Amino acid sequence: MKLIRTKNYEELSRKAANIIAAQITLKPDCLLGLATGSSPIGTYDNLVSMYESGNLDFSRVRSVNLDEYMGLGGDNDQSYRYFMNKHLFERVNIDMTNTHVPDGTVLDSEKACAAYNALLAEMGTIDLQVLGIGPNGHIGFNEPDDHFAAETHCVDLTDATIQANKRFFENEADVPRKAYTMGIGNIMSAKMIVLVANGKNKAKALAAALKGPVTPQCPASILQFHPNAIIIADEDALSELE
Ligand code: GLP
């Protein structure tokens, strides 16, 4: 793993965006794996600025997102499809038909996961996968578990994740209890991974992921085995590492 330390969130966001921009410039029809959450918002803002200044062209870029809440459609402002449209897709010249997020409206989980796995197989290898990290070490919605899941699957969100994500919802009761997520195998098959982490509430998970044992109890720890994983983190997120 390569670790890039930044002073703050702004620097982290610029550096992550520069790497993604280089990928798009080198391979205009690249397949990006994209993440939601507050962590990559600044990265997406920087990509939008590069597009607006004429330095980045998304017209041939293709994308697959990591995860989606079960039960939420794209018109629900808490869905990850809504998030992606708002923070990136509607602000750049990406072809919407080239953007993919698991379909939260399909309540038959086997069907929903099989459809997304088929889509991922059809799209081919992810060139660059963007990741955040949950305070419990989750990536996508791969929660701490006794095994690493290979492909897209349906997860019961842990209480820690429901607590961490309730800030986006009106009431805790509104937070969906289940989600569809790409598996660890899908994530690890990406050619390059860029994980962004900021803030003190990520410090413990990041230290465990970078220096702890590789274990499904800290899903992000698997990145130690990836040949081209880049961790971009600010001082607060790295405060438990030294
Ligand atoms: C969410 C998402 C993850 C994200 C993580 C951290 O539950 N499923 O993909 O990385 O939690 O979110 P945030 O960046 O808001 O801290």
Q: Where are the beta strands (DSSP E) in 53-187?
A: 62-65, 67-69, 99-100, 128-131, 153-156, 178-181
Tell which atom from ligand 1 comes closest to the C-alpha of 199: 16
pLDDT number for residue 99: 98
Strand stretches in 104-158, DSSP E? 128-131, 153-156
Strands 178-181 and 67-69: antiparallel
C-alpha of residue 165 to centroid of ligand 1, in Å: 8
* Ligand 1 pocket residue status of 140, Cβ below 6 Å: yes
Q: Where are the beta strands (DSSP E) in the chain?
A: 2-6, 31-34, 62-65, 67-69, 99-100, 128-131, 153-156, 178-181, 192-197, 229-234
Residue 143 is among the residues annotated as catalytic for this protein: yes
How far does the centroid of ligand 1 lie from the alpha carbon of residue 220, in Å?
12
* Ligand 1 close to Cβ of residue 37 (< 6 A): yes
Whether 90 is catalytic is no
Does residue 35 line the site of ligand 1, with CB under 6 A? Answer: yes
pLDDT value of residue 22: 98
pLDDT of residue 41: 98
Q: Which of 68, 103, 127, 143 is catalytic?
A: 143
Q: Token pair 């992921």 is at which residue?
A: 209
Is 55 one of the catalytic residues? no
- Predicted confidence at residue 176, as pLDDT, reads 96
Catalytic residue among 136, 142, 165, 198: 136
Q: Which residues of the chain have pLDDT under 70?
A: none
- pLDDT of the residue at 139: 98
pLDDT at 91: 98
- Assess whether the C-beta atom of 33 lies below 6 angstroms from ligand 1: no
* Angstrom distance (rounded) from CA 212 to CA 233: 17
Active site annotation includes 138: yes
Question: Which is it for the CA torsion 34, 37, 42, 44, positive or negative?
Answer: positive
Mutate to test the pocket of ligand 1, among 12, 34, 39 (most ligand atoms within 8 A of CB): 39
Ligand 1 centroid to Cα of residue 55, in Å, is 28
> Which residues, in sequence order, are CB contacts of 66 under 8 Å at separation 6+?
33, 34, 35, 36, 131, 139, 140, 141, 181, 182, 187
pLDDT of res. 185: 98
**Cα–ligand 1 centroid distance for 37 (angstroms):** 4
